[in-house]
Amino acid sequence: MKYAVISDIHANLEALTVVLDKCKEANVEKYICLGDIVGYNANPSECMELVRNLDLVACVKGNHDEYASCDDEEMLGFNPHAKQAVLWTKAHLTEEQRSWLSKLPMKKTVRGSNISIVHATLDSPDAWGYIFDTHHATDNFSYQFTQLCFCGHSHVPIAFFKKPLTMGRENPVQEIDSWRTPAGPPEELPDHMNIEMEKGWKYLINVGSVGQARNKDPVASFVIYDSDLGIVTRHRLQYDIESTQKKIIEAGLPERLALRLQRGN
């Protein structure tokens, strides 16, 4: 089975369209969404409908989905630009769309697979914590009962494995360095990178962001998982950033949200 795993779309229609075109080209069979379909960018309704019309086997709620679908307008922990975007998003979704977002689970195990999914962390999904190092990954592995867990939220692709047995003082949890975006001009970077899964090992994989990169690599990032081969592939795709930026400005959203797309941070 080929699964596409997408996260942090953030209402970026241009990026999502490019990703879905690639999925068709790659003969993806099923789709998994890790949340934050909306927020920041200017096409929340259109992106929601594209996602809902996919052959979705699982979808979880992100923090922007949460705030866009509830009545909390204080949004503690959100910066002013993110808060303004959520308030704008609420006004551009239907009540039915907001209701759909509100009913999404925080975490989920994909039926008939070795996959669990969460937007933030398995140990406390509603606290919206981030996983950036082996310490936080170890906490997550303690709650991970499947071989593979996909997460998002940070917009930074990062991956870890946990060996079943280790020798001496070796930490069983280690980062997979090759998953990070390597240094260099974006146009010179590889367009995909693979993890070949080892039997008996557990994997925690952040797939990156479709719609708002934060790893200084201004592309759309997502994953295709081939469960038959045991290979996870992260794809990097160029998209029409200028069109997305123009929509942000025309919608009256904060200019910074447009500028950061070009920088990927």
Domains and CATH numbers, the chain: 2-263 (3.60.21.10)
H-run or E-run covering 204: strand 202-206
Burial of 174 per CB tally in 10 Å (0-12, 13-18, 19+)? middle
AA identity, residue 228: D
Angle, nearest 10°, between helix axes 13-25 and 241-250?
A: 150
Residue with the bigger pLDDT between 232 and 165: it is 232
Mean confidence (pLDDT) of the chain: 94
Rounded to whole angstroms, the Cα distance separating 225 from 227 reads 6
Average pLDDT estimate for 194-200: 95
The model carries a pTM of: 0.95
How far is it, in rounded angstroms, from Cα 22 to Cα 1?
16
pLDDT band at 168 (very low <50, low <70, confident <90, very high): low
Note the pLDDT of residue 167: 61
What is the C-alpha to C-alpha distance for residues 82 and 97, in angstroms, rounded to an integer? 20
Report d(CA 115, CA 110) in Å as an integer.
6
What's the pLDDT score for residue 164?
87
**Does residue 166 surpass a pLDDT of 70?**
no
pLDDT(170) > 80: no
Tens of pLDDT, residue by residue over 29-78, are 999 999 999 999 999 999 999 999 999 999 999 999 999 998 877 777 78
